[in-house]
Amino acid sequence: MVTGRPYLLRLFCGLRTPRIPVQGLDVAGTVVAAGAAVTRFSPGDEVLGFGRGTFAEYASAREDKLAATPASLSFEQAAVIPVSAVTALLALTDAGHVRAG
């Protein structure tokens, strides 16, 4: 997808240039700034979750897509949790049909 091949992918990701110029989905780091409506996090908090363009030095994410990073995890460990956890959950519930009880 990064190279724009196969060419059919360009219909979804951008014809000549990528729609999202910086790739990445998982995010882990320290909050630098927060909007006026943000109540759960403040600058200096360590968080992990989902964002857009997270391969950049600074990334933005919605408050409801973030969680506090456990103190025992490094940023490298925390960064792999969001997509890996959702993938495992979907494998159990959708493919494995695991249900309560």
Do the domain assignments include residue 12? Answer: no
Q: Please give the DSSP secondary-structure letter assigned to residue 37.
A: T
Q: Whole-model pTM?
A: 0.72
Looking at every residue in the chain, the average pLDDT score rounds to 87
- Specify whether the CB–CB gap between 50 and 25 falls below 8 A: yes
Residue 4 lies in a domain: no
CB atoms within 10 A of CB 29: 19
Decide if 11 is inside a domain. Answer: no
Residue-wise pLDDT tens digits, 65-81: 999 999 999 989 998 99
Predicted confidence (pLDDT) per residue in 2-32, tens digit: 676 788 878 877 777 777 777 788 899 999 9
What's the CATH code of the domain at 36? 3.90.180.10
Q: Is residue 73 part of a domain?
A: yes
Residue 4 identity (one-letter amino acid) = G
Number of structural domains in the chain: 1
Could you tell me which residue, 84 or 22, shows the higher pLDDT? 84
> pLDDT at position 1, please?
64
User: Does the residue 15 lie in any domain?
Assistant: no
Range of the domain at 50: 22-95
